[in-house]
Amino acid sequence: MADYGHELLFGTFLTPRADQAERVVALARLTDQAGLDLVTVQDHPYQARFLDTWTLLSVIAGVTSTVRVSPNVANLPLRPPAVLARSVATLDILSGGRVELGLGAGAFRDGIAAVGGPRLTAAEGVDALEEGIQVIRAMWAEGGGAVRVDGRHHRVWGAHPGPAPVHDVGIWLGAYKRRMLDMTGRLADGWLPSHAYAALDALPRMNAIIDEAALGAGRSPADVRRLYNIGGTFTGSGRGFLQGPAGVWAEQLAELSLEQGMSAYILASDDPDDIRRFAAEVVPGVRELVDAERAGSGASATEDRPRVAEADAETETETDTEERSASSAGSPVTVAPGRTGGGAPALGFLPTPDDGTRLADVQVWDESTRPTGPAPDPARTYTAGERAAGRHLVDVHDHLRQELAEVRRLVEEVTSGAMDPGLARSHINTMTMRQNNWTVGVYCESYCRVVTTHHTIEDQTLFPRLRRADPRLTPVVDRLEQEHHAIHEVLEGVDRALVAFVAEPDGHKALRAAMDLLTDTLLSHLSYEERELVEPLARLGLH
- Structure confidence at residue 435 (pLDDT): 33
- DSSP assignment string, 55-70: HHHHHHHHH-SS-EEE
133 or 509, higher pLDDT: 133
The Cα 280–Cα 27 span in angstroms is: 15
Instruction: Name residues whose C-beta falls within 8 Å of residue 177's C-beta, 6 or more positions apart in sequence.
Output: 122
Q: Does residue 285 have a pLDDT over 60?
A: yes
Average pLDDT, the chain: 83
The Cα 63–Cα 26 span in angstroms is: 9
Let me know the angle formed at the C-alpha of 256 by 225 and 179, rounded to the nearest 5 degrees: 50
Q: Does residue 238 have a pLDDT over 90?
A: no
**How much is the average pLDDT of 215-244?**
92
Q: In terms of pTM, does the model score above 0.75?
A: no
Q: Does residue 304 have a pLDDT over 80?
A: no
pLDDT digits (tens, 9 = 90+) for 149-164: 999 999 999 999 999 9
pLDDT digits (tens, 9 = 90+) for 343-356: 444 677 778 888 78
Distances (CA, A) of 206 to 129, 213, 224: 19, 11, 13
Please report which confidence band the pLDDT of residue 55 belongs to, taking 50, 70 and 90 as the band edges: very high
pLDDT digits (tens, 9 = 90+) for 180-224: 999 999 999 999 999 988 999 899 999 999 999 999 999 999 999
Task: Tell me if the bond preceding 73 is cis, omega within 30° of 0.
Answer: yes
Lowest mean pLDDT among 171-180, 268-277, 317-326: 317-326
Please report which confidence band the pLDDT of residue 108 belongs to, taking 50, 70 and 90 as the band edges: confident
In the chain, DSSP finds a helix count (H) and a strand count (E) of 17, 11
Task: For residue 230, list its beta bridge partners.
Answer: 267
